[in-house]
Every structure is written in C-alpha cells, then in structure tokens.
Amino acid sequence: MFAVDTATWINAGVSIAVAFLIATLLDRLFRGRAAREVATKAGLSRSGATRLRFVRRLLYAVIVLIGIAIALSGFDGVSNLARGLLASGAIAAAVIGFAARQVLANFVAGIMLAITQPIRVGDWVTFEGNYGVVEDVHLNFTILKTASQQRIVIPNEKLAAGILKNDTLVVEVVSPDVSVWVPPEADVEAAIAALEDETHQEVTVAEAVPWGTRLTVGSDPVPPPDRAPHEAQVRRQCLARLRKEGLLRGQSN
C-alpha cells in the first residue's frame, strides 16, 4: 500500500463518491424521461428505448471511470507507476490489449448494435436456434427471454457476427408455417388437398427425399408470443387430419 496522508484518502473517497452520485442522478434522469414518454405518449419506440438504455449505461460507466481515475491521480505511487507504464507503453499496451480483447470486442460490438440496431428491445428474434424477445441490451451482452421465461445471455460480439432472424424488425406480427412429413408411398396430392381443406391455408411441397415428403402449411399472422402455441396447434390439427385420411400409416410425426 502506498504511504499517503489522510487528506489524500479523503479526497480520493470524495472523488469516487461524487462520480457515483453524478452517474446515479443522470441514470435516474434518463429513466424518468423514459417513464414520461410512456405516461404521456404511446411510449418510446423500440429504437429509442434501445439507444436510451445503451447511452444511459455508457454514461454511467464513463463517469465512474473518470471519478476513479481522478481519485487515483492523487496518489504519488500510482502516478509513478503510470509514468513507468507510459515509458514502456508498447509492452503495456500489448499486455492490456490482449487481456481485455474480449471485453473490448463485446463493448465495440454493443456500440455497433446500438447504432445500426438490427435488434431492438422488444423485438422477437431467433439466434442459434433460440427464439425469444430481446429483453435488454447491455454494454457487453444482450439478454434474450424465451417463451418459457428462460433468459439467454449472448455476448454482443457473437451477436454482431452471427446470423440473426428478426421477426419484428419491420412488422409487429409473424406468419408462422408448419412442416408435416408424409411417407414416400403416400398420395401427396391427396395430402395437400386434405390439409388445405382442414386449415384453409396454402400447402406446398417443401422437400422430397427417399424417406418421405415434407409439406409446408401456411398460417394467418399472429403476435410473436403466440407463435409457438399456434404452430403446435396447427401441427396437431394437420397430423390428425392426415391420420384420419389414412395417409400416415399410423405414424405420429
């Protein structure tokens, strides 16, 4: 521990406390603005809500870091250490950069997501087989809430570099489709006619392979939260009709 007088410790504590106070006040100011938008209008848009959350957290982190830096500057030992690191800046930069690469990459990716906004808070997305609503976008990671109330934490770097399907980027409803397999010896035209009569939707041949034919059944648009149960209901309805027509040979797909 560096040998310093009591006044230096007090000044350092005051600097950090003031930084946290300012950061907290600004954070509450942004939260208050969001609350007023919800109370007086239809609420912030998804784009506005996402940017507001990101800017709020970014300002909080920057102000706290500035306060800590000011506090540390009052210690002579820390100043000497900083000068020593600057003297060997290339080595220090390489070591720090390597150690913090993942953190910085996620942080930069978070900035890109906040600016370009391929996803927004409230969007329903599919990422690596996981379907859910974007609950929050943090500086380094994004939280996805599934229909079963699970939370999936996705690093922003991975999210920015991956393939993402956003169902509500343009519209607020989704048009689900259901796949149903029939055996290779089944009468495909009869199956299509039966499913169209049952669902009153368009049925198409999506895939034909030696072990069967995959039919795709369309559906009316539904809100994203209702997608999974609606698909399950349509799938069950289709299988029951095909079994009734004798087109499944007793299979349960």
CATH number of the domain within which 202 lies:
3.30.1370
Q: Report whether 186 contacts 208 (CB < 8 A).
A: no
Residue spans of alpha helices (H) in the chain: 6-40, 46-73, 76-87, 89-99, 101-116, 156-161, 188-199, 227-244
**Same domain for 14 and 80:** yes
User: Residue 228 CA to chain centroid, in angstroms?
Assistant: 19
pLDDT at 191: 92
Domains contained in the chain, number = 3
Reading the block at residue 174, the tokens are 């989704």
**Same domain for 209 and 130:** no
**Same domain for 47 and 88:** yes
Report how far residue 203's alpha carbon sits from residue 29's, in angstroms, rounded to the nearest whole number: 53
Report how far residue 5's alpha carbon sits from residue 75's, in angstroms, rounded to the nearest whole number: 10
Residue with tokens 């239809």: 42
pLDDT at 227: 85
Structure confidence by residue, pLDDT tens digits, 66-116: 888 777 776 665 556 555 555 555 555 555 555 557 777 888 888 888 888
**Same domain for 207 and 136:** no
pLDDT at 26: 79
pTM of the model: 0.59
**Assigned domain for 81 exists:** yes
Q: In what order do the strands lie in the sheet with 164-166?
A: 151-155, 141-146, 130-137, 124-127, 164-166
Residues of the domain holding 43: 6-99
CA atoms within 13 A on the CB side of 100: 10
Residue 156: phi, psi to the nearest 5? Answer: -65, -35
**pLDDT, one tens digit for every residue, the chain (253 residues):** 444 567 767 777 787 888 888 878 877 777 766 555 544 445 556 667 777 777 778 888 888 888 887 777 766 655 565 555 555 555 555 555 555 577 778 888 888 888 888 888 888 998 988 888 998 888 888 999 988 889 999 999 888 888 888 888 887 888 888 899 999 888 999 999 999 999 899 999 998 898 899 999 988 888 888 888 888 899 999 999 999 989 886 454 4
Instruction: Indicate the burial class of 32 (C-beta count within 10 angstroms; 0-12, 13-18, 19 or more).
Output: exposed
**Assigned domain for 109 exists:** no
**Same domain for 183 and 153:** no
